[in-house]
Structure 1
Amino acid sequence: MPSTTDELLALLDLETIDDNLFRGIQLPSMLPRVYGGQVAAQAVVAAARTVEPGYALHSLHSYFLQPGDTEARIIYDVEKLRDGRSFTTRRVLARQHGRPIFVMTVDLARDEESWDHQDRMPDYVPDPESCLDPRTVVSPGQRFDEWDVADIRYAGSSADLLPEDAERPGRQRVWLKVGTDLPDDPLIQAAAFVYGSDMALLGAAYAPHGLRFADGKSMAASLDHAVWFHRPFRADDWWLYDQHSPSMSGARALVNARVFTQDGRLVASVAQEALIRKRDPRRNG
């Protein structure tokens, strides 16, 4: 996984193999499977490479089908579903070893005039500089250097720091930004955000149960991932990830999230369902 902005940009610089066919590199990783945000970000780039100028990323809906091999390159096969005057749609299938590991539908849209409203940013959220860097309180032996391409600050959850809310027991807020000094290219900014959007997302589901991802009591895997882009923003500036988990049952947890810039603009929404299982203490790791 990338630990620097240059490495992230290298991941997003896909090789063109043929018409609508691309290949993404891998970086060394200690993870047992390819990080979902990487596959999603590379798929976004592959889709956008097949679209005429003038369209910006509007939404994506994706499913993680199989665990990805961290030592094999990923092939992205793009299918053109629609080329309209206002919207254009692509389907991206990611493969390794001849089998599909991920599928995404991507919608891009032209900007146009409209009415405007948005949710208000939550009150009393501390500045990122005042919040805890979770990597400073990890247990001995845990490594988080693979996440160094992102800067994360913990602002609280329903387990601590946030006021009690009986109607919404699963909540978490973190500040996050991806890299530093990314190019101004809107596609790179959007893809970098998609890369970071899979980070720290399940904390809202863990919070009501007194759990944390790093405590080793559970295993988790993303099942699907959706993003809606509302307004332009930069992924390399701080954004607030305001997360809410309305339900966990049957080993599946749903998390919805609103994304705000520091000046209070609602710029994106994210939804993810994940598999979260209790780890068998009799099994090593």
Structure 2
Amino acid sequence: MKPLGDRKFLGPSVPSAFTRTFGGQVVAQALRAAQLTVEGKRAHSLHSYFLEGGIAAQPIEFEVEHVRDGRTFSCRRVEGFQNGKRMMIMTVNFHHDKDRGPEHATAMPHVPGPEEAIDHLEIRPRSAQKRKLDWMDWDIRAVEESKLTEEQLHPAGQGTHQYLWFKNTGVMGDDQDVHQAALTYLSDMTLLYTALLDHPEQELQVASLDHAMWFLRPVRVDEWLLVDQYSPSAGGGVGLTKGNVFNQQGELVAVLSQEGLMREPN
């Protein structure tokens, strides 16, 4: 991330097999820009909207607004631009690590580990195969449905769940801000596909509309993470997806939410 002056940053283009910018890149770079304006606090949550499709071969300019700096929380608003067009907006909340209070968390589901899972592209639509070129430094494995119980696929009558293991294979270092940004990139890889599981044969126009995350505990993306993904609802041309992210110690480290366009072609 290159500083351009007071509260402005340039997010570099990332080589891609696609002409449109990957949404995970946009959100991760916007978060990184916000992080570079805050000291002594970590990102606690983010809420973003995709307004315009980006051009993958071009960098993105980010402008960060200091909404508030308090003793406990800080808030930033980030806007991303390409060719003078505003392509995304995001609000990020930061929190220091000194507060203490009640603790509880959703339990990690008991599903097969990464060593028993398969390459996620084996269960993806053919249109997703090109993404493999973009994600060469990620190991992504899917737990096969044949190895799951009905309760694991449809807990308490919920929509279909899928379970994927993720790990970055590069050298990540120990900076928690960097791991949070990498998790944000990861979070857009497969989440929206979950809304298509019950509609495998339907031809649809699909695109991310908004994205939200809650960072609950420290995370390392260079260690295996399990993402429990499901879609509570689809209708009216949009689909809602959710995801719970666990480390291998069983800790819930993040919660994801994304809504995407899922409409029949005109």
TM-score (norm 1): 0.85
Deviates more, 1:183-192 or 1:147-156: 147-156
Counterpart of 2:188 in structure 1 is 198
Alignment of 1:1-285 (within 5 A): 14-52=1-39, 54-111=40-97, 112-123=99-110, 125-135=111-121, 142-143=129-130, 144-156=132-144, 161-164=147-150, 165=154, 167-210=157-200, 217-279=203-265
The DSSP-based 3-state class of the residue aligned with 2:220 is coil
Change (3 A) 1:210 1:48: same
Kept in 2, the 8 Å contact 1:245–1:256? The answer is yes
Please identify runs of 4+ aligned residues in structure 1 that moved more than 4 A. Answer: 136-142
- Matching residue's letter, 1:35: F
Gapped regions of structure 1 (runs ≥ 5) = 1-13, 281-285
Alpha-carbon distance between aligned partners in 1 of 2:127 and 2:84, rounded to the nearest angstrom: 39
Deviation track 1:111-157 (CA, whole Å, cap 9, x = no partner) reads: 1222211111112x111011001346775994322111211000145
* Superposition deviation, residue 206 in structure 1: 1.3
Alpha-carbon distance between aligned partners in 1 of 2:62 and 2:109, rounded to the nearest angstrom: 38
Kept in 1, the 8 Å contact 2:118–2:144? The answer is no
Alpha-carbon distance between aligned partners in 2 of 1:269 and 1:248, rounded to the nearest angstrom: 19
Alpha-carbon distance between aligned partners in 1 of 2:213 and 2:135, rounded to the nearest angstrom: 21
- Matching residue's letter, 1:180: G
Alpha-carbon distance between aligned partners in 2 of 1:279 and 1:155, rounded to the nearest angstrom: 31
- Matching residue's letter, 2:165: W
Kept in 2, the 8 Å contact 1:178–1:193? The answer is no
Gapped regions of structure 2 (runs ≥ 5) = none
* Superposition deviation, residue 228 in structure 1: 0.1
Aligned residues: CA RMSD: 2.0
Q: How many residues align?
A: 259
